Amino acid sequence: MALGGWPEGPPVLPPTGLPARLDALVDEIECRTAERGHPVRVSWAAMLSGRAGLLDLGRRGRTSPNGTCRLLRAADGWVALNLARADDVTLVPALTGVTSTDPWDNAARAAARTAGAEFVTRARLLGLAAAPLPEPSPPIEADACTIVDRSGRRTDGDGESWQVVDLSSLWAGPVAARVLAAAGAAVIKVESSSRPDGARATPAFYRWVHSEDDVTVTVDLASEAGRERVAALIDGADVVIEGSRPRALEQLGLGPADRPGRAGQVWLSITGYGRDEPGRDSVAFGDDAAVAGGLVGWDEAGEPVFCGDAIADPLTGLAGALAVLRARDTGGGQLIDLAMARMAAAMADGLGPPPAGQADQGVAVVADGTGGWQVRAGDTVEAVRAGPPSLEWVSAGGRSRLQ
């Protein structure tokens, strides 16, 4: 909550049911890993707020906590535009048709006179990350994952040693790999020598999201020898995690269709919108993907604000780890198509603004008289903390709450 809402106003309540869904995810992870003899406990509160604590981020209303994404009012609703990379700013004149010293002012003006779908289409054609905020809808029963059988399943058990090859970067994929490492997997992280993991730009964040036991392999993907080395790693892995747009690996001959894999291999493919058209090759980051799924907060005026720090990323990583554990419990041999926008939609449950005054089923957000905020539910009072409760978000040796 400290990461959602306006800095000068009250923090906003999360979407109804989100904490309970997160509890269910981490409980199932612990239950499944305990059955394998490596119980893992995840603190989702620490996971969702850890990067913000490391980087001293806070709530900024319709600007994401890290400052790269904004919610803009379109002619018929709201859209998110994310200028996450340095080159993205240089593309704003092509999007708006106007050159100005303030790209965000230009983007806001262009969005205001354009239908949301049209604005997003134009942005995506330029390679920018953009998404429309969907209209609130009734609760839905949806699974963020699409499962595709891809190779023979194992019938001889997993054994004690299993290997994960992690081709992903930034946040979602590494979160999944970190959970699986705590569950006993040996993780090999593969990085391109020409495009290292962007998380390395913030060393503290990189160390926080990765297991210290990971083995890192750096390769030149432009060379045949580099591609052959990665292919060999993929072919020998029990689990492959990747977070590229589908065409990226396909062009290198390293996609799931190019590598049939060993019997029982599980392939976790994390994308913004899924491996199938439309949107299969659209750029997405955690903040705009969350907006695409309707996972936002709502201020006192009933208008959208960002909910958390790039929240679709860590949520997708957590769901990805659980999906891999489920697949391995049924013999493997699956391609898991996990979309960040679908994950956000499943967590948001299609709900819109809460009732006026921040009250929701007896829960209220009130000032504490010292410049801070409290959540009150009946006789229970909890402070909204500005920082994370703990930077230790995953631990081996959990305490199972499921029987």
Which of 3-12, 39-48, 136-145, 390-399 shows the lowest per-residue confidence on average (mean pLDDT)? Answer: 136-145
Report CA 288 to chain centroid distance, whole Å: 10
Q: What is the pLDDT of residue 259?
A: 86
**Within a 13 Å sphere around the CA of 369, how many CA atoms are in the beta-carbon half?**
0
pLDDT above 70 (res 289): yes
Which residues have C-beta within 8 Å of that of residue 361, sequence separation ≥ 6? 16
Between CA 255 and CA 81 the distance in angstroms is 29
Nearest alpha carbon to residue 177 among 187, 192, 169, 167:
187
For residue 135, give both structure tokens. 């209209």
pLDDT in tens, 295-341: 999 998 989 999 999 999 999 999 999 999 999 999 999 999 999 99
User: Which residue has better confidence, 398 or 390?
Assistant: 390
The tens digit of pLDDT for each residue in 88-116 reads 999 999 999 988 789 999 999 999 999 99
The pLDDT-based confidence of 161 (bands split at 50, 70, 90) is confident
Q: Are strands 373-377 and 380-383 parallel, antiparallel or unpaired?
A: antiparallel
Cα angle, residue 143 at apex, residues 23 and 266 outer, rounded to 5°: 90
Weakest mean pLDDT among 24-38, 123-137, 206-220, 377-391: 377-391
The answer on pLDDT for 158 being more than 80 is no
Identify the structural domains of the chain with CATH numbers, from first to last: 69-132 (no CATH), 138-353 (3.40.50.10540)
Residue bearing the bigger pLDDT, 174 or 356: 174
**Rounded Cα distance, 348 and 342, in Å:** 10
Q: Say how far apart CA 264 and CA 310 lie, in whole Å.
A: 33
**pLDDT at residue 335, as a whole number:** 93
Please give the pLDDT value at position 15.
Answer: 81
Residue located via tokens 């013999």: 331
Token pair 């699986």 is at which residue? 180
Please report the pLDDT score of residue 125 as a whole number: 95
Least confident of 8-22, 97-111, 354-368: 354-368
Question: 316 by DSSP, 3-state: which?
Answer: helix
CA–CA distance, 99 with 122 (Å, rounded to integer): 17
357 pLDDT band, cuts 50/70/90, is: very low
Span 190-202, mean pLDDT? 93
Check residue 143 and give its pLDDT: 65
In the predicted model, is pLDDT for residue 350 greater than 60?
Answer: no
Strand-pairing partners, residue 186, are: 163
pLDDT at residue 402 tops 80:
no
Q: What is the pLDDT of residues 203-260, one digit of tens each?
A: 999 999 999 888 999 999 999 999 999 999 999 999 999 998 888 898 999 999 888 7
pLDDT at 401 over 50: no
Least confident interval from 28-37, 83-92, 98-107, 264-273: 98-107
Contact 215, 188 (CB under 8 A): yes
- Indicate the average pLDDT of the chain: 89
Query: Which of the residue ranges 14-23, 132-141, 172-181 would you say has the lowest mean pLDDT?
Result: 132-141
Cis bond before residue 278 (omega within 30° of 0):
yes
| Residue 363 tokens, joined | 């829960």
pLDDT at 387 over 90: no
pTM above 0.75, yes or no: yes
